[in-house]
């Protein structure tokens, strides 16, 4: 495993060096000779074209991650291995994508695993967690602990390989038509929350959860079908213009403190690739994941400022007592699911083992570990 990871990282480093120093075009595509060097020095590698569906619409910031990944694969192979991206609905609906990839109808698909929690609730933990990990935690757990193996094990049960493409920062919080300052406020509202586990925790807290498709979220808030709802981080929320119909923003997003999007790959399609292309594919995913983490964070910072300073959004928060109750409820919900689902238990225990490793470090670094705001 370590030898393969070294190969992947060397390929990525070589690619970046070649891209910056070989007189590449504005598109960043390497010439064939340099690409062949990265892909193992074999000029006889075949031309391969794949289709990549997505759970994300064409205007969604998450879809741009799928596109960037495909661009990197092409760059690392000199255009000999290309992946054509299709937004949600162009090849299939979001809820069909899993089956399309599993059955080999298409080779791969960009996903958020929470969509597949109806098949196995463990998929939700691989894509998001309540009141626990940060985006940096997910990234570190995946690449330095045994997180990546959890993805391989679970998706492998469904005839697929899996590669994370971005670890998402915390969601914005609940966007609402009136202020939320307490759990009691939420108990009087109809709220849209994504995720099976978040729904169960909310039910325990007495919060009325209403199912609304993301594409209908704006209109549902506007028409009063719901009083509040969540979608994603600030940049993604801005793509839906939720602040226009929901000027209040209750943070932090306890129901999704971080997340992961990735690419699932049909196992037979994967095994048919030359090893050099497998290395390029893995390299592209790893490079994309690091690149997009910083991009997401900075974009969310910028959009947050715009919403608060220019668009009149009011941010509210819950009391420490309410947050402690939420924390206890989330843990209780997870422990109950561990008793029911061995796959869920496998992933959850792996994540908590990582947390144990991180505890002492978090304690002594304090605010310097994950940041703090200076007082004026």
> What is the per-residue pLDDT across 286-321, written as a single tens digit (0 to 9) for each?
999 999 999 999 999 999 999 999 999 999 999 999
> What is the per-residue pLDDT across 253-289, written as a single tens digit (0 to 9) for each?
999 999 999 999 999 999 999 999 999 999 999 999 9
Q: Which residue has the higher pLDDT, 120 or 2?
A: 120
Does the pLDDT at position 18 exceed 60?
no
> What is the per-residue pLDDT across 162-207, written as a single tens digit (0 to 9) for each?
999 999 999 999 999 999 999 999 999 999 988 899 999 999 999 9
Tokens at 354, concatenated: 């990582």
Tokens at 134, concatenated: 């940060």
Tokens at 201, concatenated: 């925790």
Domain with CATH 3.40.190.10 in the chain: 174-257+311-341
Supply the mean pLDDT for the chain.
89
Instruction: Domain 2-15+28-38+47-170+258-298: give its CATH code.
Output: 3.40.190.170
Task: Decide which of 3.30.70.20, 1.10.20.60, 3.40.190.10, 1.10.260.40 is the CATH code for 174-257+311-341.
Answer: 3.40.190.10
The Cα-based distances of 9 to 4, 29, 143, 287, 366 in angstroms read 9, 19, 12, 9, 31
Domain with CATH 3.40.190.170 in the chain: 2-15+28-38+47-170+258-298
Cβ neighbours of residue 296 under 8 Å, at least 6 residues apart?
A: 61, 135, 166, 168, 169, 233, 235
Q: Which residue has the higher pLDDT, 314 or 6?
A: 314
> What is the per-residue pLDDT across 94-129, written as a single tens digit (0 to 9) for each?
999 999 999 999 999 999 999 999 999 999 999 999
């Amino acid at each position: 495993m370590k030898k393969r990871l070294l190969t992947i990282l060397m390929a990525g480093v070589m690619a970046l060096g070649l891209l910056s120093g070989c007189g590449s075009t504005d598109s960043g595509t390497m010439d064939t000779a340099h690409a062949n060097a990265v892909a193992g020095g074999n000029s006889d590698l075949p031309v391969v074209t794949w289709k990549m569906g997505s759970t994300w619409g064409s205007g969604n910031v998450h879809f741009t991650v799928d596109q960037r990944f495909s661009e990197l694969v092409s760059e690392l192979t000199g255009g000999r291995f290309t992946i054509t991206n299709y937004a949600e609905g162009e090849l299939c609906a979001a809820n069909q994508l899993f089956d399309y990839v599993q059955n080999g109808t298409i080779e791969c698909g960009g996903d958020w695993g929470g969509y597949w929690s109806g098949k196995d609730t463990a998929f939700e933990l691989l894509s998001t967690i309540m009141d626990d990990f940060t985006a940096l935690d997910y990234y570190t757990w995946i690449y330095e602990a045994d997180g990546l193996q959890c993805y391989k094990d679970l998706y492998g049960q469904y005839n697929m390989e899996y590669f994370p493409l971005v670890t998402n920062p915390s969601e914005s919080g609940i966007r609402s038509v009136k202020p939320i300052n307490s759990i009691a406020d939420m108990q009087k509202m109809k709220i849209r929350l994504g995720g099976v586990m978040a729904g169960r925790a909310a039910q325990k807290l007495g919060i009325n959860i209403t199912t609304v498709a993301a594409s209908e979220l704006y209109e549902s808030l506007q028409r009063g079908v719901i009083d509040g709802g969540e979608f994603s981080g600030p940049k993604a929320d801005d793509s839906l213009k939720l602040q226009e119909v929901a000027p209040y923003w209750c943070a932090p997003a306890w129901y999704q403190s971080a997340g992961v999007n990735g690419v699932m790959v049909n196992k037979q399609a994967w095994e048919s690739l030359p090893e050099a292309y497998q290395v390029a594919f893995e390299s592209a995913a790893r490079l994309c994941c690091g690149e997009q983490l910083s991009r997401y964070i900075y974009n969310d910072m910028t959009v947050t400022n715009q919403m608060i300073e220019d668009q009149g959004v009011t941010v509210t928060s819950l009391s420490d007592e309410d947050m402690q109750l939420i924390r206890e409820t989330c843990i209780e919900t997870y422990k109950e699911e561990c008793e029911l689902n061995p796959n869920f238990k496998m992933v959850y225990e792996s994540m908590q083992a990582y947390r144990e490793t991180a505890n002492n470090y978090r304690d002594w670094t304090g605010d310097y570990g994950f940041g703090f705001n200076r007082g004026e």
